[in-house]
Structure 1
């Protein structure tokens, strides 16, 4: 199976704001950002699209295909009480323990990175059991890093070494991994 993972385009939010599951729209550059994604995907034969239901992913997925399954497990990390706050305004006593161990420490009233990873791996195990040959997943950077870590056996605390841009496409062939 080949998994093509596409990160959403640029969200319409000021830099420096914490957002994860906040349902942020995309910027006015969406149409321009869409074109290279569609061009690259045009040459790929895929059976189905799975996407986060958040509008920044939903809009992109709907431009790629009408055969889409929206799945909550593909949403970004739940930043709980920090959603839509400026990173600089999050109290040090809350953010420092998380920054020191973001893998295991959950955000206040939100998730830890391992929580995110567990739901993503649950999703992957489910699709691996299907007869799907090639899929496209339209999602967020955190989810992309979890998928990348899962198939490349990378520790979660090292996944931020994978630099991702808006609209970026990653391809993973699970057949090669099982050889």
Structure 2
């Protein structure tokens, strides 16, 4: 099964702020950004299903690209940064940040989740997709889930998944064949 992972476009937030599951608006450049994503989507594909994170920055792009024919799935949300949501990264106390930086895969953010937990959400979602009839699927989501799903499908260690740079509005094509949970 061919899947197209589409990252949301630029959110309306200043650089250096930690956000994950905060429901942000999109930047004023959204209409222009939407057109660029449309131009980069392969033409003449009849998507079997279109899924989206329920957060506004994904849902608005999904509706702009595909109309109201989307299925929202909470497993596609970005990492829950817990107490760090909407704080400047440089204002997060080092005693909290350092353990997470040393092992972001397994260490959850205070009152948030670990990257491993996010990955398990994505793997669960992929396993569910594998039960569907074959056909191209579009998924509008965030960089975290995109990296985690890409790592799982391509047998890349989660700690190395951030080597994949995922720009706003970028589309990553994956071939999904009998993915199994770990």
Normalization by structure 1: what TM-score? 0.95
Aligned counterpart, 1:27: 27
Equivalent runs, 1:103-122 vs 2, <5 Å: 103-122=105-124
Contact 2:24 2:57 in 1 (8 A): yes
1:64-121 per-residue CA deviation (whole Å, 9 max, x = no partner) reads: 2222100000000000000000001111110000000000000000000000000110
Normalization by structure 2: what TM-score? 0.94
Equivalent position to 1:135, from 122, 134, 137: 137
Any unmatched runs of 5+ in structure 1? none
Give 1 or 2: higher helix fraction: 1
CA shift, 1:164, in A, is 1.1
Aligned counterpart, 1:168: 170
Asked if residue 148 in structure 1 is aligned to residue 158 in structure 2, the reply is: no
The whole-number CA distance in structure 2 between the counterparts of 1:71 and 1:35 is: 24
Equivalent runs, 1:14-93 vs 2, <5 Å: 14-41=14-41, 43=43, 44-65=45-66, 66-93=68-95
Distance change (3 Å), C-alpha of 1:149 and 1:42: closer
Post-superposition, which runs of at least 4 consecutive aligned residues in structure 1 deviate over 6 A? none
What is the count of residue pairs matched by the alignment?
177
Aligned counterpart, 2:96: 94
The alignment's C-alpha RMSD in Å is 1.4
